Every structure is written in structure tokens, then in C-alpha cells.
Amino acid sequence: MKLGIIGLGKMGAFMSERLLIHGHEVAAYDKSPDKTKAIEQKGAAGAYSLEELVSKLELPRVIWMMVPSGEIVQNTIDSLVKIISKGDIIIDGGNSFYKDSVKRYNQLKELGINYLDAGTSGGIWGLKNGYCVMVGGDKNIFEHCESIFKSLAPENGYKYIGPSGSGHYVKMIHNGIEYGMMQAFAEGFELMHASDYNIDLQGVAALWDKGSVVRSWLLELLNDALKEDKDLKSIKDYVEDSGEGRWTVLDGIEKNIPLPVITESLFARFRSRQEESYGAKILAALRNEFGGHSIKLK
């Protein structure tokens, strides 16, 4: 199939390359001309504007956006609708908030343009291992584009989830679960790091990945990270989040579903960004006030 890719960042470039390997014709655009030139070297037809990208595609055009969630997605759609045609298909493969995806589906439906939300997991390893793809939208449009999802994914690694928004919704929950799993590994390995035993943490990560109940791809990645930097001295203890964990927690609040592990894992990331905790100062001050407990002064 011939399709356009917008966004050649960490995932977009590798996804383009994987599609090329599987025989698709890819026209690719990024706001950075250097990234466009790089994917041309892999066999893609480079485009240096959205207009040029659209001109390289055939009706009905299929355009996959791989750009950061939020305003950039909306701005890209607003630009595209001025230059594409009724019947064309836009696929949002980023981590957009599912309610925004439903709004965009309805906005585009009124214009006669089709929209799929495709939650995509695989990170920078997707080129080698394939991407897990969760798709929401009209089923007939999914079926029209199915060869794309099949090429991106490993065997049985893609699925039509349901109506508009469902693909991004399932991907949101996926990332929330990921937060909790990562936090559990972080706490367990920190405890071993602080123990009286001189534990080979990288060796434990490799060991647990061989038949243990907690074996996982995350454990493989932790093993790789510890091989490169045994004590992680080169990494600052600052953990960012990209939004999906927050949305998962908010969805739990809306639905009265308790999410204690995912919520606490999100709050742990917030704490990692504080050079000083005002809340901890409050605790220390209160202990001193009611019990005369010692405090540490700056």
C-alpha cells in the first residue's frame, strides 16, 4: 500500500523503515529536513511540506501521523483538511487522549474524511521486534488499512478494538499499567541495592528473565541498562511522564474505579522532580512541634 507518514522522530522513522521493508510505498515528511533526507536514504519518497506529501499519494490517501499528542496533532489535522479530499484517511498513531480522538473523528466525519486512532506500543525497538497496534474507528476503514497494521506488528500483534477512541483508550490503560510495573521493579531493585549483600543487580535482572514469574520485556531492558551502567551513576533520579498515566488515573476517578498502584506510581514520578519537598518539611516541622523530635537545619 502507498501511504504518507508525518513525523520522523523516535518511532516514526523506524515505522517508516519497517513498512518499506515489508513492501509498502512510503512518502514521509518531518518539519526537520535532515530527518526527511535520512528516511529517503532508506527508500522513502521524501516530502518537504505537507502539500508535497499529499501530492505524492493516491486517492483515497492514507496519512499516518506520528507526532506528539495535543496541539501539534490538532494543528496537523487542521492543515491537512485544507489540502486533502473526501474519502481520505488520517491515522493518529501517537498517544492522543481518547476523548480528543472522538472529537477529531466527529470533526472529520462531517468533512467526509476518515479517522482512525491507532495506539502504538513498541518504542525504539519496534523496527526489530514489531509494534503492538490497537485501532479504533470505523471497521471498514480499519480493514482498508489492515495491511499497514499487519506489517508494523509481529504475528497477532494488532487488533481492531472498536469505535472511535477505543484504540487510544486501550493504549492509555496499557501505559498506566506500564507505570505500575516499572515502579514495582524500581522499588524492588532499590531495596536490593540498599541491602547488606553485595548483589549483582544486573545478574539478578538476567536471572529473573529466565523462567521467573516476573520475567518480561521491561526486565530485559533493565538488564541492558545495568550492563551499560552498573550503578546508573550517569542518570539523574528525575522521571518524566508523557500524560497517559495521568489520563488513566483521571478515568479511574470518573468511573469510581480504584487504581492505587497506577496512581502511586504517577505520584512517585512527581516526587522525583522535586529538588526539595515542601511536604516533607511540613512533616518534619509538625513532628518537632508536637513531640520535640529533632529536625535537620540547612
Q: Is 178 a catalytic residue?
A: yes
Grid look-up 503492538 returns 132
Determine the Cα–Cα distance for residues 34 and 38; give it in Å rounded to an integer.
6
Alpha carbon distance, N-terminus to C-terminus of the chain: 64
Determine the Cα–Cα distance for residues 66 and 70; give it in Å rounded to an integer.
12
Determine the Cα–Cα distance for residues 253 and 224; give it in Å rounded to an integer.
36
Coil vs helix vs strand at 234? coil
Q: Which of 25, 146, 178, 220 is catalytic?
A: 178
Cell (9 digits) for 218: 521491561
Determine the Cα–Cα distance for residues 205 and 225; give it in Å rounded to an integer.
10
CB count within 10 Å of CB 251 equals 18
Q: Which of 17, 35, 171, 244 is catalytic?
A: 171
- Residues designated as active site: 171, 178
